[in-house]
């Protein structure tokens, strides 16, 4: 199929519409027994017209077709240690470090050192676990936000929210990033599902931070725009526990 | 593009002929599957470099006891390296379907795996995710569906920040999505669409390609037009998809392929194409087509047809929307460079993938059917003759070529003036020698138009033994009326 040489030049040229030649139809055109009528055609998804192209697509997915150039190997760098104080992991590839950092040090709660998979879950955690104003407001209105991205439902209690997650969003009842906040004594009113140390993640708890962390400064404290930060950290609302970076873990089991 | 990973472990000592044979078998299987509307393909992500470092591709079947031991070590081992090694061994065993079967029947196995997936140890997480990925790739429904307890976590991790991990989660989700409607009935309420909409903002190309894959699987589902596409259209996904299809230096082929197919599944489902047009789909796709036409001239063997195909389909279907016609709201596709670009792509198809010629010609039909401007472009850019050269490829192609020529001819004498005298008449006489009814039928239509608008053509037809050419079809039911009519016209004017 020889293409006129000027075609490539036209492609590279300016946008433009051809001035149409005059249209002049004879009523006999397309008359019986003839039946041609110029018309656009659309094909729905399952039409057999698409068979060949679909097969090509799936061969590609199954990775049989393409000869792809080998990607250069993951660059190795001289060994280095994680910079977060107290963490002793060593790496020789940046991607490994990236994953480690984000898993262990990324979305870490500066109060209780729990790590979370996303900023969204961390925010929710801080709000519900470490913000006294939240507790007060929660007595009067629905404050417990659904954890599913895009769902704007709010609930009166952690338990109600869990029920919503299970029934409406088909989440597992033991979803690990929705542990109920354990009560801390008479001052706290809401969601006292269990009484106990809420600073001590139990064995099997997800997202516990490296225990070497516990004593030392955990690194740059997270700046979060929640109510709690307008209150100087020296003031507690009678919760009876100190804030900050002191370790309160009794059992610090490494997972 | 799909670079350092291979879908299957490359068999050692596999000759070229054997590869071709396997490909033909796969192709036949895929065609059969499509006809039964069961076209399902999964992607397997395996890092070849790691495989080789681990000492070749011998896959061992693990027994119950071994699996339990590996799980125990992974969960309770003291040394981190020991725990990692245990999971790696498990993962390698899980490459075998029998191990997979044993694994899923073991009580608590998935639960333990999910526990490791959500642990705080990055490498264990990754290995656990790889194990799940192996399972998700299985052709056995029971095995893939065993991964269901993990889906809420896979979705949660899409908003994490570790791109390797996100990539793995996406491919695993993509494999699960395609497994059954039951799986999708779980993933949709779990918020997969908003999760993908958030994740698509990642700047990482590997993540985007994986996301495109997962989304394309979701959109390909049978129930997609009713249950999935409306919420996708209601999200920010379409805008991001069009963004990722913008031509230019930042266009990545692997990413674009996935999202072009996503767009195709959305558009051909005809849910709300007007919305896509208002978001600039026609403009973006038109510009992309031009970009691809330029690209195929520069690069060889790049797999560009994998992208050209869905782009052509999207454009062609979108052109049929009423919204494409309105001035103001939607953008007209009128730039004649599109015709130039399309012909360059037709030539490319002819050389690389002739089976895609019909799709290209379908787009050409939709461009020219109602457009005097584009019909004029065919003439002014000297494209009639190249079009005629395609007539020998196949019957399907011939019918489409003749249809496009009819689109031009039916617009009247000013157009037919450029069709005759010329190569058209002798070419038509050749097609009349064929036996395919549809090809001949379309040739007869074109002849009627030609005779109507160029009376001299009928004369020339007679002189070139046209009557004899017509005679052979006098008895064919679908053709006889038209044959007789043409004979009359030729003889009596």
What is the share, in percent, of chain A residues with pLDDT greater than 90? 32
Q: Does B206 touch chain A (CB under 8 A)?
A: no
Q: Is B348 on the interface with A (CB under 8 A)?
A: no
Residue A55 predicted with pLDDT over 70: yes
Q: Is the residue at B51 inside a domain?
A: no
CA angle B317, B323, B324 (to 5 degrees): 55
Model pLDDT, residue B54:
59
The verdict on a CB contact (< 8 Å) between B448 and A34 is: yes
Task: Measure the CA–CA gap between A103 and B118, rounded to whole angstroms.
Answer: 10
Quick one: pLDDT at residue A106?
A: 79
Assign residue B139 the CATH number of its domain: 1.25.10.10
Domain end point (choices B162, B190, B218): B190
The model's pLDDT over A111-137, given as tens digits with 9 standing for 90+, comes to: 888 888 888 899 999 999 898 899 899
pLDDT tens digits for range B446-482: 999 999 999 899 999 999 999 999 999 999 999 999 9
- Picking from B321, B341, B370, the residue at the C-terminal end of a domain is B321
Tell me whether B190 touches chain A (CB under 8 Å): yes
Mean pLDDT, all residues of chain B: 88
Chain B positions touching A204 (Cβ under 8 A) are 115
Q: Give percent above pLDDT 70 in chain B.
A: 93
User: In this structure, are B120 and B164 located in the same domain?
Assistant: yes
Higher pLDDT, B49 or A245: B49
Residue B346 lies in a domain: no
Q: Does A139 touch chain B (CB under 8 A)?
A: no
Closest CA of chain A from B387, distance in Å? 8
pLDDT at A84: 79
Identify the pLDDT of residue A119: 86
**Same domain, residue pair B177 and B197:** no
Is residue B52's pLDDT more than 60? Answer: no
Rounded to two decimals, the ipTM of the complex is 0.89
The pLDDT, as a whole number, for residue A208 is 35
B460 inside 8 A of chain A by CB: no
Q: How far is B64 from chain A (nearest CA, A)?
A: 24
Digit-coded pLDDT (tens) for B100-158: 999 999 999 999 999 999 988 888 899 999 999 999 988 888 888 899 999 999 999 99
Residue B7 forms contact with A (CB below 8 Å): yes
Asked if the Cβ–Cβ distance from B306 to A66 is below 8 Å, we say yes
Size of interface A-B (CB pairs under 8 A): 328
Taking only residues 145 to 204 of chain A, the set having a beta carbon closer than 8 angstroms to any beta carbon of chain B reads 148-151, 168-172, 175-177, 204
User: Would you call A18 and B194 a contact, using CB atoms and an 8 Å cutoff?
Assistant: no
Distance from CA of B249 to the nearest CA of A (A): 16
Residue B317 shares a structural domain with residue B198: yes
User: B138 and B161 share a domain?
Assistant: yes
Q: Which residues of A touch B122 (CB under 8 A)?
A: 96, 99-100, 103-104
Domain match, B236 and B144 both: no
CA distance A81 to chain B (A): 15
Mutation for B interface: A9, A24, A33, most B CBs within 10 A: A33
The per-residue pLDDT for A110 is 87
Whether B271 has a pLDDT exceeding 50, the answer reads yes
Query: Are B179 and B196 within one domain?
Result: no
> Per the structure block, which two tokens stand in for B194?
């908003």
pLDDT at A232: 52
Judge if B156 and B226 occupy the same domain. Answer: no
Res. B372: pLDDT tops 60: yes
Tokens of B454: 């160029």
Confidence class for position B227, pLDDT limits 50, 70, 90: very high
Number of domains in chain B: 3
Task: Give yes or no for B215 touching A (CB within 8 A).
Answer: no
Are B315 and B195 members of one domain? yes
**Band of the pLDDT at B14, cuts 50, 70, 90?**
low
Quick: pLDDT tens for B417-456: 999 999 999 999 999 998 899 999 999 999 999 999 998 9
Residue A9 sits at the chain B interface (C-beta within 8 Å)? no
Find the DSSP H helices in B1-63: 16-35, 48-53
| Same domain as B269, residue B154 | no
pLDDT score of B438:
95
The arithmetic mean of pLDDT across residues B274-299, rounded, is 92
Residue B482's nearest CA partner among A106, A31, A78 is A31
Q: H-type helices in B356-454, by residue range?
A: 357-368, 372-380, 384-389, 395-409, 413-416, 424-432, 437-453
pLDDT over 80 (residue A75): no
* Segment A53-69 mean pLDDT: 72
CB contact under 8 A, B213 and A61: yes
For A91-105, B152-166, B302-316, which range has the lowest pLDDT when averaged over its residues?
A91-105
Q: Is the pLDDT of residue B242 over 70?
A: yes
Q: CB B2 to CB A74 under 8 A?
A: no
Q: Mark whether B267 and B298 lie in a shared domain.
A: yes
Query: Of B138, B160, B190, which residue is a domain's last?
Result: B190
Are B125 and B221 in a shared domain?
no
- Minimal CA separation from A135 to chain B, in Å: 26
Alpha-carbon distance B334 to nearest alpha carbon in chain A (angstroms): 6
User: Confidence band (pLDDT; 50, 70, 90) for A250?
Assistant: very low
B228 in a structural domain: yes
Is it the case that residue B40 has pLDDT exceeding 70? yes
Name every chain A residue with its beta carbon within 8 A of the beta carbon of B375: 20-21
How much of chain B, in percent, has pLDDT values that exceed 90? Answer: 66
Full residue range of the structural domain in which residue B110 is found? 60-190
Please indicate, yes or no, if residue B290 is contained in any of the structural domains.
yes
What's the pTM? 0.83
Coil, strand or helix at B155: helix
pLDDT tens-digit map of B165-203: 999 999 999 999 988 888 999 999 999 999 999 999 998
In a domain, B428, yes or no: yes
Chain A residues 55-94 with CB within 8 Å of chain B? 55-71, 73-74
Q: Please tell me if residue B10 touches chain A, with a CB cutoff of 8 Å.
A: no
Q: How far is A204 from chain B (nearest CA, A)?
A: 8
Region A76-101: mean pLDDT is 78
Query: Is B380's pLDDT higher than 80?
Result: yes
CATH number for the domain including B281? 1.25.10
Q: Which residue has the higher pLDDT, B6 or A164?
A: A164
Residue B94 token pair: 């899980």
Question: Does residue A27 belong to the interface with chain B, where contact is any CB pair within 8 Å?
Answer: no
| Residues on chain B touching A52 (C-beta within 8 angstroms) | 355-356, 358-359
Residues in B 45-74 with any Cβ partner in A closer than 8 A = 49
Q: 3-class secondary structure for chain A?
A: CCCCCHHHHHHHCCCCCCCCCCCCCCCCCCCCCCCCCCCCCCCCCCCHHHHHHHHHHHHHHCCCCCCCCCCCCCCCCCCEECCCCCCCCEECCHHHHHHHHHHHHHEECCCCCCEECCHHHHHHHHHHHHCHHHHHHHHHCCCEECCCCCCCCEECCHHHHHHHHHHCCCCCCCCCCCCCCCECCCCCCCCCCCECCCCCCCCCCCCCCCHHHCCCCCCCCCCCCCHHHHCCCCCCCCCCCCCCCCCCCCCCCCC
Interchain CB distance below 8 Å, B370 and A38: yes
Is there a single domain that holds both residue B67 and residue B175? yes
């Amino acid at each position: 199929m020889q293409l006129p040489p000027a075609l490539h030049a036209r492609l590279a040229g300016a946008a433009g519409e051809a001035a149409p030649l005059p249209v002049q139809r004879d009523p006999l055109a397309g008359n019986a027994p003839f039946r041609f009528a110029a018309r656009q055609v659309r094909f729905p998804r399952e039409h057999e017209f698409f068979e060949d192209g679909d097969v090509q697509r799936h061969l590609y997915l199954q990775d049989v077709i393409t000869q792809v150039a080998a990607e250069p190997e993951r660059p190795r760098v001289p060994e280095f240690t994680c910079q977060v104080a107290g963490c002793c992991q060593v790496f020789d590839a940046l991607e490994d470090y990236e994953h480690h950092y984000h898993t262990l040090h990324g979305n870490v709660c500066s109060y209780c050192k729990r790590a979370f998979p996303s900023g969204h879950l961390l925010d929710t955690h801080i709000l519900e676990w470490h913000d006294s104003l939240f507790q007060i407001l929660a007595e009067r209105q629905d404050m417990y936000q659904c954890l599913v991205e895009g769902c704007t439902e709010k609930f009166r209690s952690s338990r109600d929210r869990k029920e919503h997650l299970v029934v409406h969003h088909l989440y597992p009842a033991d979803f690990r990033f929705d542990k109920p906040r354990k009560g801390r004594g008479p001052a706290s009113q809401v969601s006292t599902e269990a009484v106990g140390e809420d600073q001590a993640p139990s064995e099997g708890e997800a997202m516990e931070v490296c225990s070497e962390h516990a004593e030392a400064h955990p690194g740059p404290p997270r700046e979060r725009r929640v109510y709690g930060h307008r209150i100087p950290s020296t003031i507690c609302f009678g919760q009876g526990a100190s804030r900050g970076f002191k370790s309160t873990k009794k059992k610090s089991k490494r997972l | 593009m799909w670079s350092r990973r291979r879908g299957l472990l490359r068999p050692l000592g596999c000759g070229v002929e054997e590869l071709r044979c396997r490909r033909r078998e796969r192709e036949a299987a895929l065609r059969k599957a499509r006809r039964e509307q069961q076209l399902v393909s999964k992607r397997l992500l395996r890092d070849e470099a790691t495989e080789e470092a681990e000492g070749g591709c011998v896959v061992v079947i693990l027994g119950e006891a071994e699996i339990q031991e590996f799980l125990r070590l992974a969960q309770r081992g003291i040394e981190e390296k020991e725990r990692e090694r245990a999971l790696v061994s498990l993962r390698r065993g899980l490459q075998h379907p029998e191990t997979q079967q044993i694994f899923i029947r073991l009580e608590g196995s998935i639960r333990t795996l999910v526990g490791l997936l959500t642990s705080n140890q990055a490498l264990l997480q990754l290995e656990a995710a790889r194990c799940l990925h192996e399972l998700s790739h299985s052709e056995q429904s029971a095995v893939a569906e065993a991964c269901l307890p993990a889906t809420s976590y896979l979705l949660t991790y899409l908003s994490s920040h570790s791109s390797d991990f996100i990539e793995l989660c996406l491919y695993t989700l993509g494999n699960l999505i395609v497994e059954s409607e039951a799986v999708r009935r779980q993933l949709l309420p779990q918020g997969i669409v908003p999760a993908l909409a958030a994740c698509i903002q990642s700047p990482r190309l590997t993540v985007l390609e994986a996301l495109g894959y997962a989304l394309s699987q979701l959109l390909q589902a049978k129930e997609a037009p009713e249950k999935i596409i409306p919420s996708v259209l209601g999200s920010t996904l379409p805008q991001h998809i069009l963004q990722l299809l913008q031509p230019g230096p930042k266009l990545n082929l692997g990413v674009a392929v996935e999202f072009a197919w996503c767009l195709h599944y959305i558009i051909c489902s005809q849910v709300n194409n007007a919305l896509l047009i208002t978001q600039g789909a026609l403009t973006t796709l038109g510009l992309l087509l031009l970009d691809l036409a330029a690209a195929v001239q520069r690069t060889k063997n790049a797999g560009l047809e994998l992208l050209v195909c869905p782009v052509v389909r999207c454009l062609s279907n979108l052109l049929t929307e009423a919204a494409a016609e309105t001035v103001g709201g939607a953008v007209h596709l009128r730039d004649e460079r599109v015709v130039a670009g399309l012909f360059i792509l037709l030539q490319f198809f002819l050389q690389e993938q002739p089976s895609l010629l019909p799709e290209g010609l379908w787009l050409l039909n939709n461009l020219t059917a109602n457009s005097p401007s584009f019909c004029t472009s065919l003439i002014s850019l000297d494209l009639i003759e190249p079009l005629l050269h395609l007539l020998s490829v196949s019957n399907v192609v011939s019918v489409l070529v003749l249809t496009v020529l009819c689109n031009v001819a039916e617009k009247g004498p000013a157009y037919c003036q450029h069709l005759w005298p010329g190569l058209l008449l002798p070419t038509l006489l050749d097609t009349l020698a064929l036996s395919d009814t549809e090809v001949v039928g379309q040739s007869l239509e074109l002849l009627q138009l030609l005779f109507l608008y160029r009376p001299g053509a009928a004369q020339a037809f007679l002189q070139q033994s046209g009557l004899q050419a017509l005679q052979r079809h006098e008895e064919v039911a679908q053709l006889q009326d038209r044959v007789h009519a043409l004979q009359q016209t030729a003889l009596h004017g």
